[in-house]
Amino acid sequence: ETGVTQSPTHLIKTRGQQVTLRCSSQSGHNTVSWYQQALGQGPQFIFQYYREEENGRGNFPPRFSGLQFPNYSSELNVNALELDDSALYLCASSSSLSMGQGYGYTFGSGTRLTVV
Amino acid sequence: KNEVEQSPQNLTAQEGEFITINCSYSVGISALHWLQQHPGGGIVSLFMLSSGKKKHGRLIATINIQEKHSSLHITASHPRDSAVYICAVNEMDSNYQLIWGAGTKLIIKP
């Protein structure tokens, strides 16, 4: 098992810029979910990718977009950054097998984004 | 009212104490998850439950589907157990997202 790796771990961006965050999925997992966690708050669901297609989206504007690649790794892109986008961005990988066998999700350590 | 409610919000205990964190939910679910988040931010999945009880080391998780309630217990608590414990559910027929509780901040004092 390789676990889930997110990169970068921290970054600082200026308002109006664009950012790309990356997430590898655990070996054998074909689903990646992205979450935004503002300081002192619980995570909020951004979207989920399954086999390279978006198959669920939370209440986030279109400037939040994503991709999933054939190896099931994923990117989260945020355009026109706003100060309120400052948060910890978490990704989690899973599969129907991990969910069916009761293992659930494997989370990355997150990317802490600061928008100034 | 939040769909997933946890209690207590904060809990401080002495090393060795038995800890219980509770979670109630108001939606139909296909699974319930207990997660641990340390100050650095990373989340570790502790348990995924759809019925009954699971045990891993000093951690025990139970769920009562009829009462829509789950508990996480920690026996012989240790300062390294200090973390935020989060209950989250997969809503029935909507497996693609987790609905999160607000978390319980646990501090275990030596």
What does the pLDDT read at residue A95? Answer: 85
Percent of chain B beyond pLDDT 70? 98
- Which residues in chain B have Cβ-Cβ distances shorter than 8 Å to A5? none
Of the listed ranges A7-16, A94-103, B33-42, the one predicted with least confidence: A94-103
* Chain B nearest C-alpha distance from A17 (Å): 24
Q: Does B67 touch chain A (CB under 8 A)?
A: no
Mean pLDDT of B14-34: 96
Q: Does A66 touch chain B (CB under 8 A)?
A: no
DSSP B14-65: ETT--EEEEEEE-S-EEEEEEEEE-TT--EEEEEEESSEEEEETTEEEEEET
Nearest-CB residue to A58 (from B47, B97, B102): B97
Q: Do A104 and B41 touch (CB under 8 A)?
A: no
Q: Does B86 touch chain A (CB under 8 A)?
A: yes
**Peptide bond connecting A43 to the previous residue in cis, omega within 30 degrees of 0:** no
What does the pLDDT read at residue B1? Answer: 63
Six token digits for residue A99: 């969910």
Q: Is the pLDDT of residue B15 over 90?
A: yes
Q: Is the pLDDT of residue A27 over 90?
A: no
The residue behind tokens 């009829």 is B66
Q: Is the pLDDT of residue B3 over 80?
A: yes
Q: Is the pLDDT of residue A77 over 80?
A: yes
Mean pLDDT of B63-78: 97
Q: Is the pLDDT of residue A84 over 70?
A: yes
What does the pLDDT read at residue A13? Answer: 98
Q: Does A105 touch chain B (CB under 8 A)?
A: yes
Residue B36: closest CA among chain A residues belongs to which residue? A107
Report how far residue A43's alpha carbon sits from residue A89's, in angstroms, rounded to the nearest whole number.
Answer: 9
